[in-house]
């Protein structure tokens, strides 16, 4: 994996689909692959990708189940998942969103659409991480200021009452 590049995990059982997504993504992103659901979960746990492009129709564990399992794993549950699939019915999309995906791209895929959606979701993911870090930092600062105020009040109490 290259440094300073977002990590994208592509999960698809079809070699041609993986090759096409590699051609689309390789110039801008570090791309890893999985060919089935079990392998997708293992690779995701290992590399902690910034985004997952996930096919739905795969042998064994389908994409919906993979998505639910990833979303239940506390170490990778915040990773955005975008379904890339030939399933284009409203019910399929609804099921995907219910499983935890953030977007849905139907095949045949378009290079410009994939790049735009990937960039958008990575930007949102990055903003979310930055906001969480800011909340942690400000909470720590607030707790420190509360502690300081309590100590100051304790000191001030000593000046007003010599008997305690």
Query: What would the pLDDT profile of 91-113 be if each residue is shown by its tens digit?
Result: 999 999 999 999 999 999 999 99
Q: Is the pTM of this model over 0.75?
A: yes
* Residue 158, domain member (yes or no): no
**Element containing residue 151 per DSSP (H, E):** helix 111-160
* Residue 65, domain member (yes or no): yes
Calpha distance 53→83 (Å, rounded): 6
* Residue 154, domain member (yes or no): no
* Residue 147, domain member (yes or no): no
2 pLDDT tier (thresholds 50, 70, 90): very low
Taking phi over 0 as left and psi of -120 to 50 as alpha, with beta for the rest, 83 belongs to: beta
pLDDT in tens, 109-130: 999 999 999 999 999 888 878 7
- What residues make up the domain containing 42? 7-130
CATH number at residue 118: 3.40.50.2300
Q: Hey, what long-range contacts does 130-135 have (CB within 8 A, 24 or more apart)?
A: none
The structural domain count of the chain equals 1
- Over residues 50-70, mean pLDDT: 95
pLDDT in tens, 68-88: 999 999 999 999 999 998 888
Instruction: Output the pLDDT for position 4.
Output: 62
Q: How far is CA 92 from the centre of its chain?
A: 21
Calpha distance 46→57 (Å, rounded): 23
* Residue 122, domain member (yes or no): yes
* Residue 157, domain member (yes or no): no
Percent helix, strand and coil across the chain, each to the nearest 5: 55, 15, 30
């Amino acid at each position: 994996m290259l440094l300073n590049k977002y990590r994208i995990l592509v999960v698809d059982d079809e070699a041609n689909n993986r090759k096409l997504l590699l051609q689309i993504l390789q110039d801008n992103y570090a791309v890893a692959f999985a060919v089935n659901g079990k392998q997708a979960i293992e690779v995701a746990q290992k590399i902690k990708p910034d985004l997952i492009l996930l096919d739905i129709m795969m042998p064994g564990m389908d994409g919906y189940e993979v998505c639910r399992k990833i979303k239940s794993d506390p170490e990778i549950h915040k990773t955005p998942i975008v379904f890339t699939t030939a399933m284009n019915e409203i019910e399929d999309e609804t099921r995907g969103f219910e499983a935890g995906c953030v977007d849905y791209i139907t095949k045949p895929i378009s290079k410009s659409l994939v790049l735009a959606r990937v960039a958008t979701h990575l930007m949102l993911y990055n903003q979310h991480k930055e906001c969480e870090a800011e909340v942690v930092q400000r909470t720590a600062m607030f707790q420190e200021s509360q502690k300081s105020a309590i100590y100051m009040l304790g000191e001030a109490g000593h000046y007003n009452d010599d008997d305690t």
